[in-house]
Amino acid sequence: MFRPVAQIPLDYSVFKDKKSIFSWAPSGAIIFGNGAAAKTGEELKKLGVKKAVLVTDQGLVKVGIAGKVIESVKNAGIALAVYDQCEADSSVETVEKITELLDGADVVIGLGGGSSMDPAKAAAIVATNGGSIRDYQGCDKFEKAPLPIVAIPTAAGTGSECTPFAVIADRQREWKMPIGGTGIMPALAICDPELTYSLPASITAATGMDALTHAIEAYTSRCTEPISDALASQAIRLIAHAIRPAVFRGDSDKDARYDMMMGAMLGGYAFTSASLGISHCMAHPLGAQYHVPHGVANALCLPVVMEFNMGAWPERYADIAGFFGVDTYGMSVREAAKAGVDCVYELLEDMPVKPLEAYGVTEESLDRLADDAMLGGDRPNNARMTTKEDFIKLYRKVMTLKKEK
């Protein structure tokens, strides 16, 4: 059926230089463009699929997006089971329910944001390896190839359609489990910007800022390499110029929606190779403990973290100013780097994103949040090393952002 992705171990060795060996394992195939989702059934039939399981959520059922994909698959003569109860920050229990449907399936389809694509990936692991998804926390913990995955994003955000990662909420531990391995790179990504047209401004903003965080953290990671640099820089350019029109006139600006989905996909590919930074280390505990949407958490943390990191690699932050369209001619490297950080602060001011206080985060929250941020797998790859006290100070600064107007 699918040509498998090479099972290359995920290696995020820090301090790469220009002569370091690096690996690159992109997904099996990408179909990108307006109307691409209508071809889902046709593409699955070409690949010899007889039975599929679709993983999605009730919101996409209600707006009719899930129905269009279901119709396409059934019209192709493919047997289809549907799980449509994915929740925000999909949980271990959700993965267990999806896994029960996968017996005899050739492929699992994740339709939605990360909250649908990630549990589809996780269930694909358990379906062939057994046990609980908790057994596979970390990188390269599964031995058998997972069930093939088809990813259809409905927001320009997580980039999960082209990454070897899933994040699953463990409610018992109030912890977001990172799971990685090139075996869960989707064998097919179907990226259709039309699926994002009906997204409200708040979700477009949160998911778009998530995508921007991926791109910026990939570009400033210690694990950068030439391919990730090319992808991350282009992703930043696209998102920097498209996110405002996508948020504020996304019902009519089709070009902005197209560029945002392209930017999110490129950012996903970039951080697959280059890893991320401490914005994500800070965002995951906020989601696990206070249910702050992942994109919102990253949006609030990103400019604060950039300001913190700026001195560690000012040349890269100066590049970011240029990607945003700032004319840095005549500026010192530090001045240009600060301009890059200011671009993101100014962007956050324009975004309809709630402050942390709206989610109940208080000064008393910071010690535990910092403890969990210290456990983040991306921390060693951040441009600047970070202590628990640093995280407390960073969280404290994030709490002052985006006060209700």
Same domain, 238 and 131: no
For residues 286, 94, 210, 257, the Cα torsion angle rounded to the nearest 10 degrees is -150
Query: Hey, what are 348's tokens?
Result: 């956050």
Instruction: Look at residue 17 and tell me if it is in a domain.
Output: no
pLDDT of 404 strictly over 50: no
pLDDT-derived band at 96 (thresholds 50, 70, 90) equals: very high
DSSP state of 164: S
Instruction: Look at residue 22 and tell me if it is in a domain.
Output: no
Same domain, 349 and 268: yes
Q: What is the pLDDT of residue 18?
A: 54
Dihedral (CA of 344, 345, 350, 354) sign: positive
Same domain, 230 and 107: no
Residue 257 phi, psi dihedral angles, 5° rounding: -65, -40
Total tally of structural domains belonging to the chain: 2
pTM of the model: 0.93
Average pLDDT over residues 168-181: 89
Task: Using alpha carbons, select from 198, 203, 271 the residue that is nearest to residue 236.
Answer: 271
Of 143, 169, 195, at which residue does a domain stop? 195
Q: Out of 2-11, 176-185, 201-210, 309-318, which region has the weakest mean confidence (pLDDT)? A: 2-11
Same domain, 41 and 183: yes
Instruction: Look at residue 208 and tell me if it is in a domain.
Output: yes
Output the domain CATH number for residue 287. 1.20.1090.10
Average pLDDT, the chain: 93
- Using CA atoms, how far residue 30 sits from 109, 152, 308, in Å, is 14, 10, 36
Rounded-to-integer distance, Cα 182 and Cα 139, Å? 9
Tell me the three state secondary structure of residue 85.
Answer: coil
Q: What is the pLDDT of residue 6?
A: 59
- Are the CB atoms for 94 and 122 separated by under 8 Å? no
Q: Out of 10-24, 99-113, 202-216, which region has the weakest mean confidence (pLDDT)? A: 10-24
CA 167 to chain centre: 9
Q: What is the pLDDT of residue 27?
A: 65
- Are the CB atoms for 47 and 188 separated by under 8 Å? yes
Same domain, 242 and 306: yes
Q: What is the pLDDT of residue 405?
A: 36
If one counts every other C-beta atom within 10 angstroms of the C-beta of residue 374, the result is 16
Q: What is the pLDDT of residue 121?
A: 97
Q: What is the pLDDT of residue 19?
A: 57
Same domain, 176 and 214: no
The residue written with tokens 């890269």 in the block is 316
Rounded-to-integer distance, Cα 337 and Cα 314, Å? 5
- Are the CB atoms for 16 and 48 separated by under 8 Å? no
User: What's the CA angle centered on 371, arms 296 and 381, to 5 degrees?
Assistant: 70
- Using CA atoms, how far residue 206 sits from 4, 180, 200, 297, in Å, is 33, 23, 10, 8
Of 136, 166, 195, at which residue does a domain stop? 195
Same domain, 238 and 296: yes
Residue 128 phi, psi dihedral angles, 5° rounding: -105, -15
Average pLDDT over residues 224-251: 96
Task: Using alpha carbons, select from 247, 250, 248, 258 the residue that is nearest to residue 193.
Answer: 258
Instruction: Look at residue 23 and tell me if it is in a domain.
Output: no
Instruction: Tell me which H or E stretch contains 149.
Output: strand 149-153
Q: What is the pLDDT of residue 209?
A: 98
Instruction: Look at residue 77 and tell me if it is in a domain.
Output: yes
User: What crossing angle do the helices spanning 314-323 and 333-350 adopt, rounded to 10°?
Assistant: 50
Instruction: Look at residue 13 and tell me if it is in a domain.
Output: no
Same domain, 241 and 121: no
Of 142, 172, 195, at which residue does a domain stop? 195
Task: Using alpha carbons, select from 255, 237, 241 the residue that is nearest to residue 197.
Answer: 255
Same domain, 58 and 161: yes
Instruction: Look at residue 404 and tell me if it is in a domain.
Output: no
Same domain, 190 and 335: no
Output the domain CATH number for residue 165. 3.40.50.1970
pLDDT-derived band at 174 (thresholds 50, 70, 90) equals: confident
pLDDT, tens digit, for every residue of 150-162?
999 999 999 999 9
CA 148 to chain centre: 20
Same domain, 218 and 169: no
Q: What is the pLDDT of residue 33?
A: 96
Same domain, 156 and 112: yes
DSSP state of 384: S
Helix, strand counts (H, E) of the chain? 14, 9
Average pLDDT over residues 99-116: 95
Instruction: Look at residue 4 and tell me if it is in a domain.
Output: no
pLDDT, tens digit, for every residue of 262-301?
999 999 999 998 999 999 999 999 999 999 999 999 999 9
Domain that holds residue 226: 203-398
